[in-house]
Structure 1
Amino acid sequence: MRVHRFPASSTIEELCYDPGNQTLCIAFRETGRYVYDAVPEPVVEAFCRAPSAGGFFNAQIRDRYRFRRDPARKYFGPSR
């Protein structure tokens, strides 16, 4: 499982990614945690390198992949 934090982002706190099943989990600072399915690894790699995490999310992930909330924090565990 790959974890990447975005300390400079006002929108996204961190992501975790499981390349085995292409599951991307994103922790948003204001709206909670969401799980995105069938996200290719090159997209996640580009996300981690993007100068703006929120901008990349809006342009490359939002409305492109099926998603669900992760209220049980299955992928991230308890809030820090």
Structure 2
Amino acid sequence: MERATVTSTNLVSVGYDPASETLEVEFKAGVYQYYNVPQFMYDQLMQAPSIGTFFNANIKNAYACARV
């Protein structure tokens, strides 16, 4: 999955596959995939003033994930 580099203290890059609703996040400590993330949530994440804050508040503990 292609990821776009983001400006964040903890996140390095973010990618999204709308067909499978999979959000892929590269942290400084590794890459994780979050499952069943709706398109609007990805859109809001990428438009958030602070991607890290939005991620922690709305995605981190809300969706199943696995390290890849």
TM-score (norm 1): 0.79
2:59 corresponds in structure 1 to 61
- TM normalised by structure 2 equals 0.91
Name the SS of the counterpart of 1:24 in structure 2: strand
State the one-letter code of the partner of 1:56: F
SS at structure 1 position matched to 2:25: strand
Is the 1:13–1:28 contact (alpha carbons within 8 Å) kept by the matching residues of 2? yes
Runs of 4+ aligned structure 1 residues displaced above 6 Å come to: none
In structure 2, what residue type is equivalent to 1:36?
Y
Q: Max radius of gyration: which structure?
A: 1
Q: CA RMSD in A?
A: 1.3
Q: Contact between 1:18 and 1:24, CA under 8 Å: does it hold in 2?
A: yes
Aligned counterpart, 1:39: 37
Percent identity of paired positions between Structure 1 and Structure 2: 35
Count of matched residue pairs = 68
Q: Give the alignment of 1:1-80 within 5 angstroms.
A: 3-6=3-6, 8-29=7-28, 31-70=29-68
Gaps of 5+ in 1: 71-80
1:16 and 1:24 mapped to 2: Cα distance? 6
Unpaired runs of 5+ residues, structure 2, are none
Alpha-carbon distance in 2 for matches of 1:58, 1:41: 17
Superposition deviation, residue 40 in structure 1: 0.1
